Amino acid sequence: MCDTFVALGNVTKNGAVIFGKNSDREPNEAHELILIPKAEHPKGSLVECTYISIPQVEKTNAILLSKPFWIWGAEMGANEHGVVIGNEALFTKIPYDKSPGLIGMDFLRLALERSRSADEALDVMINLLETYGQGGDCGLAHHLFYHNGFLIADRKSAWVFETAGKHWAAEKVKDIRSISNAISIGSTWDRSSDDLVSFAVDKGWCKSESDFTFGGCYSDLVFTKFSEGRNRQCRTMELLGEGRGKIDVRYAMSLLRDHGPNAGEDWQPGKGFSGADVCMHASFGPIRVSQTTGSMISELSEHGDTHWVTGTSAPCTSIFKPVWFDSGLPDLGPQPTETYDEATLWWRHENLNREILRDYSVRIKEIQVKRNAYENEILNRISDLLNDSASAREAFTKAYFDGANQREETWLKKIVDIPVKHRRPLLDKLAWQNFDRKARRAD
C-alpha cells in the first residue's frame, strides 16, 4: 500500500513542483537506493525486467530509483530531465494475469528511462500497457497481484494514470492531487482507452455512459475497502488543500510523516487491527502487513532539481537526505535483502526504528526535534548548493549521509536506555517478534 502526491507550482510556496511518495511493503522488504547513469544500447538488444525481457531502446536516461531490493523496477524514482513517477497498487474487477509479465514497477522504470517529460512518460506507459498488458507476482514473502495507478510529474505538469488490466484513464493535474490504493478517477478524464466505458456497460457494471465512473465501475470493493486507500487519499488531499500557498519540502516531509488527525502525543502505532495511515506501521493481522519501507520527495524547478530520499523505513523515524544527479549517491553498503545485515543503510536504521516502536509515544520524542533540526540545516542551504559545483554537492551529500548515520547511532544508544512506560499491545509485540525472527534479527 502506498500514497503519492504532487503540488504544482501554482500552489507551492516558491513556485517549484513538489512531489512525494511513501512506499508501503512487507516489513522486511528492504528498500534500495540506486542511481543508474544514462547509457547507449546496441540496436536490437533486450532489457531484462523483473520477469520478462522486452526490446531495449537505443538510449536510456540517467535515473534515480527507490525500490524493493528484488524488483528490477521501482516504487518511485526520477530521471535526469526532471520527470518523477510513483506507482500504486489498484484492486479491480478485471482478472489479474498471474503469469510472468511486466509489473507496475517495471512500467515506472521503463518510463523514466525513455522519457523527457510527463507527457512522454504517459505515452510510454500507455504503449507498454497496450503492447504487453500487466501481470506477475508483486509480493516478496506472500503472493500479491494487482493492477496499477501512477502519478507522473515534471517541472511544469502532472498526470494521474490509472489502469485495470488493459483498460485505463488519465487525468491532467490542475494544482494538487494525490493517489492511493483505489481508483481515484471518476466520470471525467482527459485521455482513456477506447473501450473504457463500453466494456463496463457490457459487463453490467453500469447502465449507460451517463452513470459511469471509472472507480465505481472497475474497483474490487473488498480489497479496495480493506486497503483503506480512499481514506488515505482523502487525508492527503485534505493536507494538500490546507497547505495551498505554503507547500514546500518541509511541508511534504510532514505530510509523509502523518499518522492521521487523531494522532496525539500518546498515539501508539501498534493499537488496533487496522491502521493504514500515510506513514504506515505494520502490526498484527491480515490487513496490517504493510510498513512504509522507503520515502521520497522531489522539488522540481528550472533552477535545479533536488531529490530527498530516506533509503530507510518509516519516515517518522527517518532522516530525509538530499541527492542530485550530477553528484551521485555515496557508498550505501551492499544491496540489502530480507535478511538483517547491519552493513546496509536500510537494516542499520531498522535497529533504531524497531527500538522506537517498543514505546513509540515516549521514544519518538527523543529524535523528533533533532531530526527536524538536521533536515533544516540543509533546507536552508539548498539555493547555495544548487549554485555550487557538482563536486561540492558530492562532498556535501556524503557528509550529510554520514552525519545522518552518526546521529541515528547516537539516538539508538540513548533510546535503548529509556524505560518503557507504556505496555505494548501483545499482538503487536508478537507480530514484530515474528518479523525479526524471519529477518534473522536478534530481538
Q: Compute the mean pLDDT over every residue in the chain, rounded to the nearest whole number.
A: 95
What are residue 135's DSSP bridge partners?
97
Write down the pLDDT at residue 227: 79
Handedness of CA 368, 369, 373, 374 (dihedral sign): negative
CA dist 391 and 217 (Å) reads 53
Write down the pLDDT at residue 294: 97
Could you tell me what percentage of the chain is helix, strand and coil, using 3-state DSSP and rounding each to the nearest 5? 35, 20, 45
Active site residues per annotation: 2
Q: Does residue 226 surpass a pLDDT of 90?
A: no
pLDDT tens track for 36-82 = 999 999 999 999 999 999 999 999 999 999 999 999 999 999 999 99
With bands split at pLDDT 50, 70 and 90, how would you rate the model's confidence at 442? confident
- Centre a 10 Å sphere on the Cβ of residue 188 and count the other Cβ atoms it contains: 9
With bands split at pLDDT 50, 70 and 90, how would you rate the model's confidence at 214? very high
| Percent residues over pLDDT 70 in the chain | 100
CATH topology of domain 2-329: Penicillin V Acylase; Chain A (3.60.60)
Write down the pLDDT at residue 221: 84
Write down the pLDDT at residue 224: 80
In single-letter form, the type of residue at position 75 comes to E
Mean pLDDT for 190-207 is: 96
Contacts of 122 (CB under 8 A, 6+ apart): 111, 152, 159, 161, 170, 191
pLDDT tens track for 229-249 = 889 999 999 999 999 999 999
Q: How buried is residue 142: exposed, middle or buried, by Cβ count under 10 Å (0-12/13-18/19+)?
A: exposed
Strand-by-strand arrangement of the 76-79 sheet: 31-36, 63-68, 76-79, 84-90, 147-153, 158-164, 167-172, 191-192
With bands split at pLDDT 50, 70 and 90, how would you rate the model's confidence at 443? low
What DSSP line would sit under 211-271, residue for residue?
Answer: G--HHHHHB-HHHHHHHTHHHHHHHHHHHHHHTTTTB-HHHHHHHHT---TT--TT--TT-
pLDDT tens track for 95-136 = 999 999 999 999 999 999 999 999 999 999 999 999 999 999
In single-letter form, the type of residue at position 21 comes to K
CA dist 186 and 300 (Å) reads 28
CA dist 374 and 403 (Å) reads 9
